[in-house]
């Protein structure tokens, strides 16, 4: 028996969240998706609020993952201690609120979702993600294990994929918001893609209004990011996984407009 796992790229701004609501449930129903993980890192453009996390879950996510903007909204801290299905990177310091992995009892069996954040190029005081995930995997988890690696460097993401090949069902990258064309099954049976892409405005600079982003590169004073307007897209990847072995059988990137 195989199941289909959908991983959805970073939700960006109100328009991205609205587009997720308009498309996700229909896509899941029409394509036989059995489990869905959505990165909610940028639903508030920078960070995400508890209300927005709840909205992503209502839209059809089984688990919401986060990233480097986890602590941007202070009100998320008590929420993370209360919400089982919203997780933050596991390699944040252990005293931080919330959890970095969760085991969900799905209809077809147990699914473990692990959230990690990269060290290269991200200004975050975190533990080594390779060491942390290795420790997590020493404990009994689930037959299907999924990893969202929120990282800047493609080399760090690819290295993580090979590090976990044969040990987890799928590894995908988030954070850079540009979908890569390398969806594949690694040699030992782990599904992989370097970056899922994003869910938000098509004509944008990774979700931000182009004129503002251009101004930043020209030297304008910093200010809060403004989301771009216009039509949206949903990007992600579908992994088909054998329930008995936990091995990935296929990986295919998707884009909905």
Task: Read off the pLDDT of residues 150-180 as tens digits, 9 standing for 90 and up.
Answer: 999 999 999 999 999 999 999 999 999 999 9
Q: In the annotation, is 150 catalytic?
A: no
Long-range pairs, 119-127, Cβ under 8 A, ≥24 = 119/156, 120/151, 120/152, 120/153, 120/155, 120/156, 121/152, 121/153, 122/68, 122/151, 122/152, 122/175, 123/68, 124/68, 124/92, 125/93, 126/89, 126/91, 126/92, 126/93, 127/91, 127/92, 127/93
Instruction: Please tell me whether the overall predicted TM-score, pTM, comes out greater than 0.75 for this model.
Output: yes
Question: Mean pLDDT throughout 56-70?
Answer: 97
Cβ within 8 Å of residue 179, ≥6 positions away: 9, 195, 196, 197, 198, 235, 253, 255
pLDDT at residue 222, rounded to an integer: 86
* Model confidence pLDDT, tens digit, residues 200-239: 999 999 999 999 999 999 999 988 888 899 999 999 999 9
pLDDT class of 49 with cuts at 50, 70, 90:
very high
* Model confidence pLDDT, tens digit, residues 120-138: 877 678 999 999 999 999 9
Considering only 50-54, 130-134, 139-143, which range has the smallest mean pLDDT? 139-143
Question: Helix H segments across the chain?
Answer: 13-31, 50-59, 76-82, 129-136, 154-164, 210-218
In the set 21, 69, 150, 253, the catalytic residue is 69
* Mean pLDDT taken over the chain: 96
Dist CA 131 CA 192 (whole Å): 20
pLDDT at residue 125, rounded to an integer: 82
39: pLDDT strictly greater than 80: yes
Domain map of the chain by residue range? Answer: 2-256
- The CATH classification number of 2-256 equals 3.60.21.10
197: pLDDT strictly greater than 90: yes
Q: Calculate what percentage of the chain has a pLDDT beyond 70.
A: 100
């Amino acid at each position: 028996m195989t199941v289909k796992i959908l991983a959805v790229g970073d939700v960006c701004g109100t328009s991205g969240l609205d587009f997720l609501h308009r498309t996700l449930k229909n896509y899941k129903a029409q394509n036989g998706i059995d489990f869905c993980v959505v990165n909610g890192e940028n639903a508030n453009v920078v960070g995400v609020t508890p209300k927005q996390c709840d909205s992503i879950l209502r839209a059809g996510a089984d688990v919401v993952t986060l990233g480097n903007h986890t602590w941007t909204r202070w009100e998320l801290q008590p929420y993370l201690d209360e919400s089982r299905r919203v997780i933050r990177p596991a390699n944040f310091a252990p005293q931080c609120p919330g959890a970095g992995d969760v085991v969900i009892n799905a209809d077809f069996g147990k699914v473990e979702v692990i959230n990690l954040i990269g060290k290269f190029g991200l200004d975050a005081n975190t533990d080594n993600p390779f060491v942390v995930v290795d420790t997590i995997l020493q404990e009994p988890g689930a037959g299907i294990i999924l990893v969202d690696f929120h990282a800047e460097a493609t080399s760090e993401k690819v290295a993580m994929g090979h590090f976990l090949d044969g040990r987890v069902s799928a590894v995908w990258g988030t954070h850079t918001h540009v979908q890569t064309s390398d969806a594949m099954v690694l040699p030992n049976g782990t599904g992989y893609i370097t970056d899922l892409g994003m869910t938000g405005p098509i004509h944008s600079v990774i979700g931000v209004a182009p004129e503002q982003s251009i101004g930043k590169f020209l030297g304008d004073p910093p200010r809060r990011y403004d989301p771009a307007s216009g039509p949206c897209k949903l990007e992600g990847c579908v992994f088909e996984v054998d329930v008995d072995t936990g091995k990935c059988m296929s990986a295919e990137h998707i884009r909905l407009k």
